[in-house]
Amino acid sequence: MAVYVIEVKDLLIDEGGLSRHAVKGLLDICKAVDVVAKLGFTSYNHPLRRVYFLGKDYVPLWDIIEPDDYNKRVDTSKSMLDHIKLLNQRLGGCDTYIQEMEKIVSGMAYVKVGDWVLAVHINQFADFLDQAMQAVRTLYSNLGKKIEEIEGLLEMAEGRYKLIERRKWGDLAQTKDHNLIVDTLKPLQVILQLIEANV
């Protein structure tokens, strides 16, 4: 039996709208031996991946959100908060956002196999990202420089964030709920790194 190794390029770009700024896509490349590969990237050294829902013809290959997927988002949020705190010491203006993010992150619990996905799990990330977006905008504004790459990444992050829907009791958690959170965290991380490099 022959084994075919495929190379997959996973490109995170602004697919949802027209960007007024030139943006480099965030590219990850992986090699896989599987028909369906789990694709992702790292954020603050935490592996994050998208979850894919395939059509009804591929039921045996359906992907699910695993506890580790959720837990890595918690870890990434904590790392992002630490990064924002560090940049706030240099640029200022984010104390209120940091206090709110600390409250939200302190309420995030780690999950295990068998735990229910609740509305609060999705809503905590939506609330965290709302504060993180505001903090990133403030830090960028206080940097006092216009950087095209940051402008484009900020549009990308905002576009993804606007698509996140807060859930209520009884709503089904969907793959898009997970993916939009991941797709917002990554450009925010890159923006924070670019701000840090330009301070």
> Domain span at residue 113?
1-199
Residue-wise pLDDT for 122-143, tens only, equals: 899 999 999 999 999 999 999 9
Q: What is the pTM of this model?
A: 0.77
Residue-wise pLDDT for 183-197, tens only, equals: 999 999 999 999 999
Q: Of the spans 6-10, 33-37, 49-53, 73-77, which averages the highest pLDDT?
A: 73-77
Angle CA 190–191–192, to nearest 5: 90
26-32 vs 46-49, strand pairing mode: unpaired
Contact yes or no for 31/40 (Cβ under 8 A): no
- Tell me what the mean pLDDT of segment 60-82 comes to: 85
The two structure tokens encoding residue 87: 């940049």
How many structural domains does the chain have?
1
